[in-house]
Chains A and B, each alone.
Chain A
């Protein structure tokens, strides 16, 4: 599977790795903006931090 990007005003076509091709196929028709990507990462970071803090929080009286 190939993808494209615009570099120096030219459209560059390049081959995707097998896993990236699979991911892009499965995400076909879906869009993710840069802002949404950042928010997604932050949500994951928050949930990971909460997961890590859980034993401590639960041990407090």
Chain B
């Protein structure tokens, strides 16, 4: 299963909370149970936004599989979000994981074959639940 993680998911993962779905999504990727994909532009944004946590950036860079999208899209009104869509479409990702579903951002349920989901929706999807059990049991 291939996912592209919006930067806000990684930021949310760094804050403790009782229901930390974002951290669990990250841990699924770190365990190799889901494939997290990123492009150079996405990694640049991760590094910029999480710059105060260089050790976490190193972990994120370490788990991400790299893709180099050949096309530059202008589908989403908020331009920077297109970098995530370019990557997701280039690698035939199953999901873009984000909490930013406001109008002009990831405001569709899917872009072609790529579904847009929140961390909670991803974790509760039937395909992911066994992976969560595997991670929690390991």
Contact = CB atoms under 8 A, between A and B. Distances in A.
* A joins B in a complex: yes
A4 B20 contact: yes
Interface of A: 3-8, 12-20, 22-24, 27-28, 30-32, 34, 37-38, 40-41, 44-45, 48
B91 interface: no
B24 A14 contact: yes
A38 B8 contact: yes
A48 to B, nearest CB: 6
Secondary structure type dominating chain B contacts: helix
Given A37-B11, A38-B102, A24 B16 contact: yes
Contacts of B8: 34, 37-38, 40-41
Interface string B50-87: 00010110110000000000000000000010000000
B132 A24 contact: no
Interface of B: 7-8, 11-21, 23-24, 26-27, 30, 45, 48-49, 53, 55-56, 58-59, 80, 99-100, 102, 120, 123-124, 129, 132, 135-136
Contact of A17 (B20, B30, B136): B30
A8 B21 CA distance: 12
The 5 closest A-B pairs by CB, nearest first: A23-B14, A19-B55, A19-B56, A34-B99, A5-B24
Contacts of A17: 26-27, 30, 56, 59
Contact of B24 (A12, A18, A37): A12
A18 B27 contact: no
B123 A5 contact: yes
A15 B7 CA distance: 21
A4 B11 contact: no
